[in-house]
Amino acid sequence: MDLTLLSQIESPADLKALPIEQLPSLAAEIRHAICSQVMQSGGHLAPNLGVVELTIALHYVFDFGHDRLLFDVGHQCYPHKLLTGRFPMLKGLRQRSGMAGFPEPLESNFDLFAVGHAGTAISTAVGMARGDTLTGEGVSGEQPDGRRVVALVGDASIVNGVAMEGLNNAGTLKRQFLVVLNDNGMSIAKPQGAVSGYFDRLRVSDTYRSMKRVAKDALSKLPGGTALKGACHRMGEMAKDALLEDTWFEHFGLVTVGPVDGHDIQGLIEMLTAVKHVDRPMVLHVHTVKGKGYDFTEGDATTFHSPKPFTVSGCDVELKSGGRSFTSAYGDAMCNLMDDDDRVVICTAAMPDGTGVKQAIDRFPDRAFDTGICESHAMDMMAGMAKSGLRPFFAVYSTFLQRAFDQAFQEVALQGLPVRLCLDRAGVVGGDGAVHHGFCDIALLRALPGATICAAMDEASLKAALEFMRTWDDGLSCVRYPRDGVAGRFAKTPCAAFERGRGRCLRPVAEPAAIVLAYGTCAMTAMDAADTLADEHAIEVWDARFAKPVDRKMLISALERSVPVMTIEDHSIIGGFGAACLEEASSLGLDASQLQRLGLPDGWIYQGSRTEQLAEAGIDAISLVTALRNAIGRGCNANTTSPRHSPVR
């Protein structure tokens, strides 16, 4: 497709110069550009295809170089980026030199927050609205050209608890404030819960609409109200019938309009032009189709939410195979556990495919749950199920565990309840970048009394860890594993059962030149490094398995042999496995002057491949070989950290 229009857009000013009649053609070009790039690099596809017309209309009406646009979740930002001068960066999508897959203020002043977690837009938008009012920059009757504020919320993140808190405060504002609800009937997968059912009824139920309360007099008294009524009627029956219903949002104090057609550009522009001048907080409910524009994305928006690279040949779509992943291995292992133990239950928070829980939901619908985008609720629900005598497993991305830490502390650890956390995407995650790295889960959970923290290095050890956790009923436990394929190096070697606080020696050496205590998949990295150095030095390698409790016998044996000892982990150097080893050595009165720690540096690592990120952090095999050679050659300085640091971008 010829991208004549898109290639001319260097800023929203260029967009505003286009006649409205050309905007559908621009929308088609944007869809083509995004789909073509995601086919090559992977990325978030269906969410972005669904908001093309809505994003065009928002930028056509508002001036977001001056006004405020806050994204919720952020993975629907590609059209926004293309309209704000970043089309040349699209070819490097999710790569260090190219366009980040989430809003990124380092790229552009049009991105206000780097954001990849759900539920945050309304609260940050309320903060900016209050801030602009206090500094005299906000829109008001006396200052009609002041900054306006828009929060774009989608993919069912409106049901997130933080979004509810934001709505509760938004209703108290005495100024313009617009929440655009992008209602595509989807989360990442099918949305869950009562609120999603409410939106389903609102979109399709004529009976419900016939019971509307149309407050025409009140509307006419609002600034822009007369124009708003006209815009609603021009947008057709869907908008006209839903004008100012007695909706859920009105109970928060927000005027509500919709649902309106999110793919009618001219109608959206008229509607946004009208609501732009309303001086009260309000919600514009926009109905869109996730994956709009292609049959394969509209028909399977879950698969194409964030696909790997893929090819399209006629009616056939083929996703690139990346080999067997830890996520797939986890899904199979959990189904086996559930077959063997009817007390095992499992849940995920809106990530059934991403965490591998979909298979369990299909096979065990009474014992497997998707709670929707609400990690805090999911953690507490699992605590309740543990209290009831079940054996709950909560599958959650490491980065999203942070959102439920208070519940892990209060309702799980403090109660001594055996909730089992399965932390997918631990460590660096590749193209999703800084917003999704699982870099602090060990540090968070290690502070909880009675917690048991382990990691898997391959599929066999993941199965063994899950089996250990299944029968560990003395408190919170977790296993962490990366967004990566499982290594087959030890596939034919029997995997010893997990025993709390005990590591596994993978490469015993009678008189080693150095010893590596590796955590999780870094054990494979250590084995590769030991192979490289085999003709120079004998390196002993341990799969440490546990960050809490650390294997004391392993640590004593390593530190008393008077050779360099290195810990390596895909976690922050602060508070991680290496820090746990130092603390344990101190409590045992051991000399830790020969201990060197390798881990993620105290800095942000941006998007790129996982391989590049591990190298940047100094925890790939090449870096470990260099660190071992240096340590053996000169001896280790106490408590040193990773040799590389994340550059400021």
Catalytic residues, by residue number, are 290, 375, 403
Q: In what order do the strands lie in the sheet with 344-348?
A: 368-370, 344-348, 391-397, 420-424, 477-480, 452-455, 546-548
CA distance 385 to 525: 38
**Is the Cβ–Cβ distance between 325 and 370 less than 8 Å?**
no
The residue type found at 123 is: S
* Pairwise CA distance, residues 316 & 217, whole Å: 54
User: Can the peptide bond before residue 88 be classed as cis, meaning omega within 30 degrees of 0?
Assistant: no
CA neighbor of 357 nearest in space, from 343, 341, 346: 346
Nearest to 170 by CA among 72, 79, 77: 72
CB atoms closer than 10 angstroms to residue 416: 13
User: How far lies 535's CA from each of 161, 363, 503, 507, in Å?
Assistant: 57, 51, 26, 15
* 8 Å CB contact between 149 and 176: yes
Q: What share of the chain is helix, strand, coil (3-state, %, to 5)?
A: 40, 15, 45
Token pair in block for residue 582: 């130092």
- b or e along 373-408 (b: 16 or more beta carbons within 10 Å of the residue's beta carbon)? bbbbbbbbbbbebbeeebbbbbbbbbbbbbbbbebb
Name which of 113, 133, 109 is nearest 121 in CA terms: 113
> Is residue 255 within a helix (H) or strand (E), and if so which, with residue range?
strand 255-261
Residue 213 C-alpha from the chain's centroid: 39
**Total residues found in the chain within this entry:** 649
Question: Residue 369 forms beta bridges with which residues?
Answer: 347
| DSSP string covering 565-607 | EEEEEEEESSSSHHHHHHHHHHHHT---TTEEEEEE-SS---S
- Longest Cα separation, the chain: 88
Tell whether omega for the bond before 259 is within 30 degrees of 0, i.e. cis: yes
DSSP annotation of 519? -
Q: Give one DSSP letter per residue of 297-322, joined into a string.
A: HHHTTTTTSSPPSEEEETTEEEEPP-
Q: Is 134 left (phi over 0), alpha (psi -120 to 50) or beta?
A: alpha
DSSP label at residue 402: G
Q: How many helices and strands in the chain, by DSSP H and E?
A: 27, 19
Collapsing DSSP to helix, strand or coil, 427 comes out as: strand
Using CA atoms, how far residue 390 sits from 127, 340, 366, 453, 573, in Å, is 42, 14, 13, 20, 35
- 304 by Cβ neighbours in 10 Å (0-12 / 13-18 / 19+) ranks as buried
Parallel, antiparallel, or unpaired for β 310-313 and 316-319?
Answer: antiparallel
